[in-house]
Structure 1
Amino acid sequence: MALACVPGLAAVVALVLCAVVVDRTPGGARRPVAARAGTEHQAARPAIVPRERWLGDAAYTRPPTRYADRVSAVFVHHTDSPNGYDCADVPRIIRYLYVGQAGGRNWDDIGYNFLVDRCGTIYEGRAGGTDRPVVGAHTQGFNVGTTGIAAIGTFTAGVPVPKAMTDAIAAVAAWKLGLADIDPRAPVRLVSTNSLSKYRAGTRGTFTAVSGHTDGYWTACPGAALMARLPEIRQHAAHLQGRR
C-alpha cells in the first residue's frame, strides 16, 4: 500500500506509516566529521535560514547529535501539509512540525535535515550543523550517511511543483553531495540499518544519489508530482557542481 508522510500533531497515529524515525543502530559517529577538502565538484553553499529563526521558545531537550562519515545520498520528501501558505508563515509551519515530532511523538528532533518552501527559501531543520553529515530521522533504514530535504506542501499527481522549490532542492543536494564529490545522477549503494525499510537490515540497496523517500520505504512520499521532477533536480544539481 502506498502511504504518504503526514507530520504534525494531527498525525500522531501515522508514526509507523510515515517511517520518519530515528535509527538507533550502529553507524553514526558521535563526533562531527569535517567534509573532504579539495573535492573536484564542490557546489556553492546556498543561503540557509538557521533553525533559531523558526524554533523560537519551542526547544525540547534532545540527546547528542549523531554524525556519519559523509553524506552519500539525498532523500527528498514532502511534508504532506497544505500548499497555499504564505511564505512569511513558514517559520510557524516548521515549528508546528517540530512540536508534532519532537514533542507529540517524543522524537529527538525534527526529522528532516532541511526544509524548502514554495518560494525557494531553505531552512535548517535538524540540529548539528548544516555543513556536517548529521544523521537525520527521515528515511527508515537509510538515515545514516544521507540528508533529508522536505518540500513544504503536498505534491501528489497533478499538483504543480514550484520551480523555486525544485531549484532550492537542487542547490542543497549539489552542495551536500559535492562535499564528498558525488554526482547527483550517479548510483550509490547504501546499507539498510532497519528491516522496516524496503531492505532487510544489513543488506545493500542501490539508489540514485538524489532519490525519493518512496525509493527506500513503502510510502507515496514525496508524491508523484515531486518524484517526476527528480530527474530535473538531479541534472540541475549536477550543473551546479560544474558537471556536464
Structure 2
Amino acid sequence: MLLGCVPGLAAVLALVLCANGVESTVGAAARADAVRPAVVHQAPRPRIVPRSAWLDDDTRHGQPPPRYDDRVVAVFVHHTDSPNGYDCADAPRIIRYLYAGQTGSRDWDDIGYNFLVDRCGTIYEGRAGGIDRPVTGAHTQGFNHRTTGIAALGTFTAGVPVPKAMTDAIAALAAWKLGLSDTDPRTKVRLTSSNSHSRYAAGTTAALPALAGHNEGYMTSCPGAALTARLPEIRQQAARLQGRSP
C-alpha cells in the first residue's frame, strides 16, 4: 500500500515514496494569457499565518528564488501522513519538522506544499514566494504548474474522523485561491503533465478536478480515504463561498 503523502514525525525516511517532486519550470505554463476575463466569483481571503511563525530567517540557507506560474487553476489536497493527536499550538513545530525532512533527506530547496492546515482550522503559508502569488510548488509530481498544494496536518485513512474546522479551512482557502482565476471548484480543468512519473506521461493533457486529491495526479493513496470522501462537500462549500449557484 502506498503512503498517503509526505511523512511526518515518525517516518521521514519514507519520503522517497512520496509523490512530491521539484520539477523544472515549464515555460509555456508560465506565460500569462494575452486576454484575461474579468474575475466574477471571488471569495474573501481567509486568515493565513505567515512562514515566519514556523521558520526563522536563520534556518534558511541558500534557498533559491521562488518560481511562478501565470495563475492557479487547480488545487491538490494532501495529508502529511503524520500523527493526528497533536496540540494545535505545536503545528508550527510539526511544519518545521516537515520542512527539515524535505530540505534535508530529499535535498529540496523548500517545503513542497504551498499551504498547510491544522486540525483546528488554522492555515499556514508553506512554500515561499508570496501568499497572493501563483507560486510553483513541489507537491504533485507532474502537476505542480498552475496548481496550489494544500496539506492537511495528520493522517486521514479510512475510518479516521476529519475535523470540520479543517475541511472548512480547506474550502475557504481553495475558494479564495481558485477565485483569483475565476475557477469553479466543482468543475474540471485541463492540465498538462510535465513529468512521466505522474499518472500521465509528460506532455499529456488531462481533465482533472479543479479541487482534486493528490491521487488524481499521482499513484498514491494521499490524501487518505477519509479526506478523499470529504472532497465533494469541500468543493460545494468552496463554490458557495465564491457566490456560485448550487
TM-score bracket relative to the smaller structure: over 0.9
Distance 2:128 2:231 in 1: 26
Number of the residue aligned with 2:3 = 3
TM-superposed CA distance for 1:202, in Å, is 0.2
- What is the Cα deviation at residue 3 of structure 1? 3.2
Q: CA RMSD in A?
A: 1.9
Confirm or deny: 8 A CA contact 1:101 1:110 kept in the other structure.
Answer: yes
Where does residue 44 of structure 1 map in the other structure? 44
After TM superposition, give the deviation of residue 37 of structure 1 in Å. Answer: 8.4
Query: Which deviates more from structure 2 when the two are superposed, residues 16-25 or residues 138-147?
Result: 16-25
2:222 paired with 1:243: no
**For each residue in 1:183-232, what CA deviation from the matched residue of structure 2 results, as whole angstroms up to 9, or x when unmatched?**
00001110000000000000011111000000110110000000000001
Contact 2:214 2:223 in 1 (8 A): yes
> SS state of the match for residue 55, structure 1?
coil
Write out per-residue CA displacement over residues 117-138 of structure 1, whole angstroms, 9 at most, x where no aligned residue: 0000000000000110000000
8 Å CA contact 2:9–2:94 kept in 1: the answer is no
Distance 1:91 1:3 in 2: 23
- Percent of residue pairs identical: 74
Residue 11 of structure 1: how far off its partner (Å): 3.9
So what's the TM-score if we normalise by structure 1?
Answer: 0.93
Unaligned runs of 5+ in 1: none
Question: Which ranges in structure 2 are unaligned for 5 or more consecutive residues?
Answer: none
Partner of 1:198: 199
Q: Are the counterparts in 2 of residues 60 and 103 from structure 1 also a CA contact under 8 Å?
A: no
> What's the TM-score, normalizing by structure 2?
0.93
Deviation at 1:16, TM superposition (A): 3.6
What is the CA deviation profile of residues 57-116 of structure 1, one whole-angstrom value per residue up to 9, with x for unaligned ones?
A: 422321111100100100000000000000011111101111111123210100000000
Mapped partners of 1:239, 1:168: distance in 2:
14
Distance in 2 (alpha carbons) for counterparts of 1:122 and 1:204: 31
1:53 corresponds to: 53
Partner of 1:17: 17
| 8 Å Cα contact 1:75-1:210 kept in structure 2 | yes
1:158 paired residue number: 159
1:219 is aligned to 2:220: yes
Report the equivalent of 1:67: 68
- Indicate conservation of the 8 Å contact 1:51/1:125, yes or no: yes
Distance 2:12 2:154 in 1: 18
Q: Distance in 2 between matches of 1:7 and 1:59?
A: 21
Residues 71, 176 of structure 1: 8 Å contact kept: yes
Provide the residue aligned with 1:208 in structure 2: 209
SS in structure 2 at match of 1:115 = strand
Conserved 8 A contact 1:4-1:221: yes
- 3-state secondary structure, aligned to 2:48: coil
Equivalence map 1:91-170=2 (5 Å): 91-170=92-171
Letter of the structure 2 residue corresponding to residue 208 of structure 1: P
- Please give the alpha-carbon distance, in whole angstroms, between the structure 2 residues aligned to 1:38 and 1:26: 26
Tell me which residue corresponds to 2:90. 89
Name the CA distance, whole Å, in 2 between partners of 1:38 and 1:198.
33
For the structure 1 residues 59 and 9, does the alpha-carbon distance in structure 2 shift closer, same or farther, using more than 3 Å as the test?
A: farther
Count of residue pairs the alignment pairs up:
241
